[in-house]
């Protein structure tokens, strides 16, 4: 993962944390969060591998050697960068100021793919499950415990995967449900709107079709 200067269109410097951790290490320009694997397909530089104990992100490969799992979503809140780590099945936390690794969430039963923040909480989509945890207030006391959210999905003979969720200004939670995958003949899905209770963890209530049927797999929604 790289830090990018959006206004200038250029990569930033390697994070101070990584420079201190590996003074003679090799990292691509702008590396803010390193990989556990230093040799990656289509990358012509052998970089320093960083294990998960020090914040390195997991990576897995398919049978052809191409990257299968990598970072799909991030979130920022209270000076903390939250990153989905699919192979490790956790959400990793980093200090936004210097890239320092702050630890990981509780382990999930399936790989996390999408993140959203709302009303002091972090929501995590992981397969057909939705998780929630109270946001840490600062990087100096960063930890997060994720709990399963009780969710009633649309009726289907197969469990529906959840994409990236979104909230509107009236606390309606929009959830994209996925049928199949984008490269499958069985690709489609729907988007449902839910009310959200104030208890912790919150409980989505109701469930009304916002878009009942889509021709392709919905990955993210944004209000």
112 phi, psi to nearest 5 deg:
-75, 140
CA dihedral (200, 107, 155, 190) positive or negative = positive
Contact status, residue 190 vs residue 209, Cβ threshold 8 Å: yes
Q: Note the pTM of the prediction, 2 decimals.
A: 0.92
Of how many residues is the chain composed? 223
Residue-by-residue pLDDT tens, the chain, 223 positions = 888 777 777 788 899 999 999 999 999 999 999 999 999 888 889 999 999 999 999 998 888 888 877 678 999 999 999 999 999 999 999 999 999 999 999 999 999 999 999 999 999 999 999 999 999 999 998 899 999 999 988 887 678 899 999 999 878 999 999 986 655 566 789 999 999 988 888 999 999 999 999 988 899 999 9
> How far apart are the C-alpha atoms of 95 and 130, rounded to whole Å?
25
> How far apart are the C-alpha atoms of 125 and 127, rounded to whole Å?
6
Sequence ranges of the domains in the chain: 150-223
> How far apart are the C-alpha atoms of 171 and 26, rounded to whole Å?
45
> How far apart are the C-alpha atoms of 32 and 15, rounded to whole Å?
5
């Amino acid at each position: 993962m790289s830090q990018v200067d959006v206004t200038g269109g250029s990569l930033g410097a390697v994070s101070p944390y990584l420079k201190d951790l590996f003074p003679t290490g090799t990292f691509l320009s702008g590396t803010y969060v390193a990989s556990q694997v230093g040799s990656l397909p289509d990358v012509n530089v052998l970089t320093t591998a960083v294990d998960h104990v020090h914040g390195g992100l997991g990576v897995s490969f398919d049978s052809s050697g191409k990257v299968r799992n990598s970072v799909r979503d991030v979130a920022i809140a209270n000076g903390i960068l939250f990153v989905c780590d699919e192979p490790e099945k956790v959400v990793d936390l980093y200090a936004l100021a210097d890239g320092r690794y702050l630890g990981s969430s509780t382990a999930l039963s399936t790989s996390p793919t999408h993140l959203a923040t709302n009303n002091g909480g972090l929501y995590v989509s992981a397969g057909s499950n939705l998780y929630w945890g109270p946001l840490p207030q600062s990087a100096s006391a960063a930890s997060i415990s994720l709990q399963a959210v009780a969710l009633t999905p649309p009726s289907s003979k197969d469990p529906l995967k959840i994409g990236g969720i979104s909230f509107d200004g009236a606390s309606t939670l929009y959830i994209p449900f996925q049928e199949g995958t984008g490269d499958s003949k069985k690709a489609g899905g729907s988007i449902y709107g839910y009310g959200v209770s104030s208890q912790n963890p919150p409980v989505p209530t109701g469930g009304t079709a916002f878009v009942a049927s889509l021709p392709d797999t919905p990955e993210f929604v944004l209000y």
